[in-house]
Structure 1
Amino acid sequence: MFIFYKEVIIELVRNWIYVLMVLFLLAGCNSHQPFDISDVPKSSNKNVTKGPLPSEFLGGNQQLQPLDLQGEEFNIVGDWYDDESILYVIDENGTSTIYRYHLFTGERELFFKTNAPVLTMKANDDHSMFLIHTSDSQNQVKLTVVDKSGNIQYEWQMNSFDLFYSWNPYNIHQVFVTSFLEDWSFQTHLLDIKAQQTTKYEVFQPFIQWINSNTISYLKWDQNALDFFAPLYSYHLNTKTEGLLFENIISFAAYKDLLVTYELSKGEDSVAKIGFFDPEKNKQLHEFKMPLLSDYSKWYIPSSDYVVGQKKFYSFKPYSAGAFDTYGEKFELVSYDMSTGKEEVILEKVDDQPLNFSPNGFLCLYGFQFEKIIDLKTKTVEDLIVY
């Protein structure tokens, strides 16, 4: 049970750091077949380049306007509204206000107000809807889905200690939700915004990711063992059948048309083999290697993101392997191109913190509150929020 508890706690700790702050201030296709990994090009460090970005970079001739929030209670930058605008959250007296802010004109406008503090928010795949997760008590949460005009499309309130959710990138109206109780027991539901309905599913792993329009995937950890590896399974929501995809996986990530797996490289100590797969064709695209850091009872996996339009996977990468708590170096931010198979260094000697790329991939929110921004054209990091 230790592994399960630890994974849940790590997943939820960012939300509850904020909750504690608020309370203090006032006194959240079938893919069961195995993947074909034959004839996959292997990468090496010799393939690392520092190439130019496309000339059509959207912000090329525009200057970023930092957002001055001094004197206001800044919560988080919630997500991208579009390629040039963000949605950010301000708290006041137990409520939250979400504003839209244009990065280059400096214009801001009211987007949505909530009656409880915002814990998290996330856009669907085409950024036509935004899921807002709020809570004003320890065991009550609310999910509100709004459209691009801030109009409510769906609301769902439940008894829950916290939530994990995942938009379906293949169906923009669906989101899978896992709700936790205080004893870390959980329930799983599929919310269909278009159909205005919620369906309960008996899925026995809480942290799922989508690999096609009706199939989710998850690592099946042994809750009674301190394992570094787990098998990766798929679960078909229509047929309610489970299938083994991979064995001995450290971690994985799934995006629209891309499945990323992490496993130990055979014959190499503390080196991860990162496999990139086309989930529709069940075929491996490329393979790269990365030094691994160990973190007590598991491997430490750096922050990452994928830009569908560029077909590029971005990840922080440690300079050397070892123990995470004694690792004294910074990280480099690299991209892996699914079209060419090339690895490119974007930033050097930076901290590993969460990433959230704009839809076109030319700018990236960066930081634990997404308070900074990475300019992919100049390969620089700037302060987005001044507070």
Structure 2
Amino acid sequence: MNVRIQGRAVLFLCSFLVGLFILTGCMSERELGRHSVLLHNKEIIKEAIPPSFTGQDLILPIQIEEGQFNSVSGWLNNDKIIYTTNVGLGSNIYTYNIFNGENQLIFESDAPVSSITVSPSGNQLLIHSVPTTYGGIITIIDDNGNEIMSERIEAFDFVIEWNPYDENILLLSLFSEDWDFSTQRLNLADKSMVSIELEEPFIQWKSADEVIYLDWDQQQPSLLAPLMKKPLTKGGEQVVFDEIYYMKAIKNYIMTITIPSDKINESVYTFLSNDFNEVASFTFPHLTRYSDWLIPYFDFTENHQIFTLAPLYYSEFDTYGEGFQLLSLNIDKGEETVILDDLGNEPISCSPNGANCLYGFYLEKLININTKEMTEIVKE
């Protein structure tokens, strides 16, 4: 506004030629002012966009503050990962922002931490520490390290299924040394743990109060089993599909793996809605092992995408000499994209938006899906 007023005053007081000269200069000033405003607005807009989408550089590797790096456990959100260090006889747990380098100690354990399970939303963590061989402590904290609940368990091993429809509810299948199991329903709202009867220890959530599982015949072992669904609050399990090799449920989707009887060299990955209607299907060559088929590592993201490793051709696992492709599968569109070639079959964990994936037996490397670059998380 000041530029316009000054311009008009100069034009009024000066002759035509001088005024024209000054007008030209004022217009340049006006354009410069407009350019500055645009730059300022761009900075404001850029600051409002999460770093994951602006091409901001990664701040890696992590500088370990105390102890020795143990492993990365996954993502809390698109920017933060969680990792563990060994400190004396215990463990420290940290969150780390890969874009701004913020390193935060959120939990210290006097006993070694065996595993960390992140809730589906990334807002809570279940930490399993092992002060003794056959006993352990499970501690649930929020993403800032505040304790929600802690419970001692007596088990040789256990598996966890966090309810993605109600994150106050978890199912824990506890195994004895001879692999007998019992299942506990853990409620974080009232901090209770109650035994429930389930036919199988490896169950998945279909909805807030219904589970699915593969009903393996213990008397006649087989590579295939029927897929069952069962309400937790009452009986009445029901067969959904016959002859399923593997299944995995996430919020609103179910993935099954089958081996066609007429194409035994292939695995069919089928994605179903919660009411068991097919959404998409993909076929890959698979590798056979002594008593079963290999399922390469995979992970889901929140935008209906799955990243999976896949062999190049059918073979026996022990004689397969090629690497694996990292593939991106878009469930909604039924599209398959090759991200990288010649990788090993190692664990993978991807950010919720699918922009980056952790990779490796300790999730010690990070793959940028857009640039296809791989970066070390920690440099020993």
Taking structure 1 as the reference length, the TM-score comes to 0.82
Aligned residue for 1:325, secondary structure, equals helix
What amino acid sits opposite 2:140 in the alignment?
A: V
CA positional deviation for 1:107: 2.6
> Are 2:298 and 1:304 equivalent residues in the alignment?
yes
Q: Which residue of structure 2 aligns with residue 268 of structure 1? A: 263
Q: Which residue of structure 2 aligns with residue 161 of structure 1? A: 156
Unaligned runs of 5+ in 1: 1-54
CA positional deviation for 1:237: 0.5
Match of 2:222 among 216, 224, 227: 227
CA positional deviation for 1:168: 0.7
Q: Which residue of structure 2 aligns with residue 285 of structure 1? A: 279
- Structure 1 residues 59 and 77, CA, compared in 2 at 3 Å: closer, same or farther? farther
Q: Which residue of structure 1 aligns with residue 113 of structure 2? A: 118
Match of 1:378 among 345, 362, 371: 371
Match of 2:137 among 126, 137, 142: 142
Match of 2:306 among 308, 313, 318: 313
Residues in 2 aligned to 1:127 and 1:81: alpha-carbon distance in whole angstroms: 4
8 Å Cα contact 2:365-2:375 kept in structure 1: yes
Q: Which residue of structure 2 aligns with residue 325 of structure 1? A: 318
8 Å Cα contact 2:213-2:228 kept in structure 1: yes
Once the two structures are superposed, residues 210-234 of structure 1 have per-residue CA deviations (whole angstroms, 9 ceiling, x without a partner) of: 1111112222222233422111112
Q: Which residue of structure 1 aligns with residue 165 of structure 2? A: 170
Q: Which residue of structure 2 aligns with residue 63 of structure 1? A: 58
Residues in 1 aligned to 2:116 and 2:110: alpha-carbon distance in whole angstroms: 15
Unaligned runs of 5+ in 2: 1-49
> Are 2:351 and 1:351 equivalent residues in the alignment?
no
Residues in 2 aligned to 1:318 and 1:176: alpha-carbon distance in whole angstroms: 33
Match of 1:334 among 327, 348, 353: 327
Bigger mean CA offset, 233-242 vs 180-189: 233-242
Taking structure 2 as the reference length, the TM-score comes to 0.83
Larger radius of gyration: 2
> Are 2:351 and 1:364 equivalent residues in the alignment?
no
Aligned runs of 1:200-219 on 2, under 5 Å? Answer: 200-219=195-214
Residues in 2 aligned to 1:206 and 1:93: alpha-carbon distance in whole angstroms: 34
CA positional deviation for 1:71: 8.3
The number of residue pairs the alignment matches comes to 331
What is the CA RMSD across the aligned residues, in angstroms?
A: 1.8
* Structure 1 or 2: more helix by fraction: 2
CA positional deviation for 1:361: 1.7
Aligned residue for 2:130, secondary structure, equals strand
Q: Which residue of structure 2 aligns with residue 80 of structure 1? A: 75
CA positional deviation for 1:377: 1.4
Residues in 2 aligned to 1:59 and 1:161: alpha-carbon distance in whole angstroms: 46
8 Å Cα contact 1:95-1:114 kept in structure 2: yes
Aligned residue for 1:298, secondary structure, equals coil
Percent sequence identity is: 31
Aligned residue for 2:53, secondary structure, equals coil
Q: Which residue of structure 2 aligns with residue 257 of structure 1? A: 252
8 Å Cα contact 1:60-1:377 kept in structure 2: no
> Are 2:295 and 1:294 equivalent residues in the alignment?
no
